[in-house]
Amino acid sequence: MFLAMSRILGTALAPVKHREEKTTLRSVTPRAKTVDVDLAPPTKRVPPKVPEGTPVVPPQDLASRPRRNRRSATVREAFRETILSPSNFIYPIFVHDGDDDIPIDSMPGQTRLGWKSGMVKKVREARAAGVNQVVVFPKTPDNLKSATAEECFNPNGLAQRSISLLKDTFPDLEVYTDVALDPYNTMGHDGMVRSDGVIMNDETVYYLCKQAVSQARAGADVISPSDMMDGRVGAIREALDAEGFTNVAIMSYTAKYNSAYYGPFRDALASAPRPGTEDWSIPKDKAEYQMDPANFRECLREAALDEAEGADIMMVKPAGAYLDIIRALKDNSTLPVSAYQVSGEYSMLKAAAAAGYLNEKDAVLESLIAIKRAGADLTLTYFAIDAAKWLQEM
């Protein structure tokens, strides 16, 4: 038996051994040779020249040369993995209760738009460029602000009037809103501030629900809570459904970081936290409720909660410095992901371009490609109109 098995195994293994003995490594001998002109049709193409002094070397023996797939504009476009489109953009607009458009010094090219005329004109320009989504941010007059921010749900408030006018003028325009108390709060925070400096969560959420419903009544398509209070997505979803607004979507600011990039935005709305007093402590920043820029895993917890509570879209803010967070949300949820290229990102690019350090068009489009490549389905950007026009020219 042993002898028979040995003969069988020997017979079976012999061809393998024979093949191994015959196997040779790929040759590294140079393969360059002179091309016989008789082997190709006549042509008027002139062989390219090389710089004088170029060394004569044999071709490397490479099976794969990735540059072959980048050799021409046609090939590069055919293999492009990430395609920008104006349909990916949401244009943020600042509105105020006046007639004139007021330039925002810290955001060159951006203005506080008069809600009756300038706003409509700017949105018409955006639509002509292919951008049919906007988010409205109202500049609330100081005399209408209060510690509890009741103006946020005034049915005839600036935000509500702006939303209604936009939907009356452009019925198919997708209108997003901002849900938070800071534009209406005398203390400059997204929630009500207790005297010891604590941001009151549940009381704030109660008013956020009233704000969201008032915006839906005005015609908003998507409610966007940016406040970062716990439980607000579920509470807003319940409030909207109770009022019959089951088709109004929620784009939650899921991973909103306590970032240094928000300065110009707060200039535009005069919504920065105010100094406290001896009797009333006001936090100097929003670290108590916005996320720590050092944290990654925390965004997964926020995402799981928002999805469970009924969010339709999840947002990362800011965008450029948080591409890893965009990817994390994309990889861990089936919901669409949006990202906000915030005011500080905008102003940095504008300043560098104005100084001649960068080509504005190229740098902006590259930044937007990076945000989409990371996983964003939608990008809120102040460059929306310019970028859409540049894309049309390409």
Q: Could you give the residue numbers annotated as active site? A: 256, 317
Residue 322: CB partners within 8 Å, gap ≥ 6? 255, 257, 316, 339
Residue 126: CB partners within 8 Å, gap ≥ 6? 91, 132, 134, 384, 385, 388
In the chain, the N- to C-terminal Cα span, in Å, equals 77
Distance CA 183, CA 151 (A): 9
Distance CA 225, CA 385 (A): 24
Task: Annotate 141-179 with b (16+ C-beta within 10 A) or e (fewer).
Answer: eeebbeebbbbbbbeebbbbbbbbbbbeebeebbbbbbb
**Of the candidates 96, 192, 191, which has an alpha carbon nearest to the alpha carbon of residue 136?**
96
The alpha-carbon radius of gyration of the chain (Å, integer) is 30
Residue 67: CB partners within 8 Å, gap ≥ 6? none
Rounded to 5°, the CA angle 12-15-19 comes to: 145
Integer CA distances (angstroms), 319 to 79, 85, 153, 156, 371, in order: 25, 17, 29, 33, 7
Integer CA distances (angstroms), 90 to 180, 186, 289, 318, 376, in order: 19, 28, 25, 14, 12
Rounded to 5°, the CA angle 376-93-234 comes to: 55
User: What kind and span of H or E run contains 177?
Assistant: strand 174-177
Question: Do 120 and 166 form a contact (C-beta atoms < 8 A)?
Answer: yes
